[in-house]
Chain A
Amino acid sequence: MALQDVCKWQALDTQGPSPHLPEAGGWAVPRGCDPQTFLQIYGPRLAHGTTTLAFRFRHGVIAAADTRSSCGSYVACPASRKIIPVHQHLLGTTSGTSADCVTWYRVLQRELRLRELREGQLPSVAGTAKLLSAMLSRYRGLDLCVATALCGWDHSGPALFYVYSDGTCLQGDIFSVGSGSPYAYGVLDRSYHYDMTVQEAYTLARCAVTHATHRDAYSGGSVDLFHVRETGWEYVSRSDAYVLYMELQKAPGLEQEQELEAEAAQVHPELATPQDAEEGGELSMEQEEATPEDSRIIAKTEMV
């Protein structure tokens, strides 16, 4: 019998995830209460409203979100960032409790970095989603609220996974998360197809978020747009939601759709440059997209 078995000494398990966070169930609650019931009755009421969306297509994965952080009817921050880079080929859209999302993304970044050092390569997006959902499901029932879409490019091409804090992990082509998601889904389902061009995809994403911000009280501010390509993620634009919506309203009618398609075929080159997530430095914000060409392209997908 090994000496360590006799002494009941357990070697540290360095292989598994070690978030150094409180044990699930290790909450300091009064005697006689279990953490779940306690939180249900006395826990803080964390309201969460947002619109985030992500979809994958031939040329990568698009992630878009509004920028309003609300706490009940109070706008805590009109210009928050809801799309978090994890590493050069992975972004996460966050919805739910901002604090939870940010914390868990930092934990995820650490775990991925450790695995990269150990294995010599980053895990696939499927593996990352599995990892995140496994970490979150340990805290199930303890009022964590993280609803996130992992958007990345790995050896299998563009990949998109939805992870929820109860442990749900789903693969899909389109996801929209948040209080504004029904409105975004309406627009997305109308015009999405896998073989879109990059400009069509940008326009579709902006259009979907803009319409959601128009109707949902908890979404608003600006529209952030990110694109994950084979070479990494890039921050495409941040545009004011109201300005975008007004442009959509000015869109010409159906009969001009043919013309616009011909014009839109002469597509502009991409506007942003790839950034390295690991540097974590300031992201340069693009100027607002209020150019006339853009409004025509936006209008193209507006046709009902």
Chain B
Amino acid sequence: MASRYDRAITVFSPDGHLFQVEYAQEAVKKGSTAVGIRGTNIVVLGVEKKSVAKLQDERTVRKICALDDHVCMAFAGLTADARVVINRARVECQSHKLTVEDPVTVEYITRFIATLKQKYTQSNGRRPFGISALIVGFDDDGIPRLYQTDPSGTYHAWKANAIGRSAKTVREFLEKNYTEDAISNDNEAIKLAIKALLEVVQSGGKNIELAIIRRDQPLKMFSAKEIELQVAEIEKEKEEVEKKKPKKST
């Protein structure tokens, strides 16, 4: 008697799946890659920029958004859904400041976004949000944080994570290369993020968008030139490593 109705709206299937939520996760896997890294004194967000059409204004396509002075997020999935979630999160950040007199903690706003997403998995006639989000920031106590939410409404804290297309490849790269040394230096953390993205992004630095938050400082978006500089440094380091190799084999 298991009819196809459980695929159209969010009710349980006989074997315990919420198909709409799973399909939403598939939609996320089609989105462009985003990577987040939690350093000791810095948090980094990097996203793969989709190549824009010739006549399109590049500046209107922003995938990294500030939620408040000390929190920002990147997403993978349906851009329109992300816009709605980001707007609600921004309002909540200010409401929190108004009622509680303190800025939100990163965990609080992540929980809010996750609760919002969960509501849409339990409402009649609504579909879940088709986005996963990486939320980074510093709390008042100066501790850096990185959280990831998914369409089902769960959230977890991560040291480094990737979402979107080729997330698995990037995550494996991060698992191999995320060391205490790599993240203790701000610059190294930034390079790690770029290196991770370069694994999966075509045509190099042009298609990368990067943002960082340092402790007690506001969000900083990297310009294309700054990214190019970092990419050039990475390539130089790679070449030096390559040069050393042949000498060893003789």
> Which residues of A line the B interface, CB within 8 A?
1-6, 119, 123-124, 126-127, 130-131, 134, 155
Contact = CB atoms under 8 A, between A and B. Distances in A.
Given A3-B123, A4-B123, A127-B100, 9 more contacts: A2-B125, A4-B125, A119-B108, A123-B100, A123-B102, A124-B102, A127-B101, A127-B102, A130-B100
A185 to B, nearest CB: 27
B99 A1 contact: no
24 contacts: A1-B125, A2-B123, A2-B124, A2-B125, A2-B126, A3-B124, A4-B123, A4-B124, A5-B125, A6-B125, A123-B100, A124-B101, A124-B102, A126-B102, A127-B100, A127-B101, A127-B102, A130-B99, A130-B100, A130-B101, A131-B99, A131-B100, A134-B99, A155-B140
A155 B124 CA distance: 43
Nearest to B96: A127
Nearest to B98: A130
Contact of A127 (B99, B123, B126, B140): B99
A127 B100 CA distance: 4
A235 to B, nearest CB: 28
Contacts of B102: 123-124, 126-127
Contact of A124 (B100, B124, B125): B100
A126 B125 contact: no
Main secondary structure, interface of A, reads helix
Contacts of B125: 1-6
Nearest to B108: A119
Contacts of B98: 130
Interface in B71-102: 98-102
A154 B51 CA distance: 50
Interface string B124-145: 1110000000000000100000
A130 B96 CA distance: 11
B174 to A, nearest CB: 28
Contacts of A3: 123-125
Contacts of A119: 108
Nearest to B112: A15
Nearest to B115: A15
Contacts of B99: 127, 130-131, 134
A149 B99 CA distance: 19
Nearest to A6: B125
A123 B100 CA distance: 7
Nearest to B119: A11
Contacts of B100: 123-124, 127, 130-131
Nearest to A115: B100
A240 B123 CA distance: 63
A295 B172 CA distance: 74
Nearest to B120: A2
Contact of B101 (A2, A4, A5, A126): A126
A117 to B, nearest CB: 13
A85 to B, nearest CB: 21
A10 B108 CA distance: 24
Top 3 nearest A-B pairs (CB, nearest first) are A3-B124, A126-B101, A127-B100
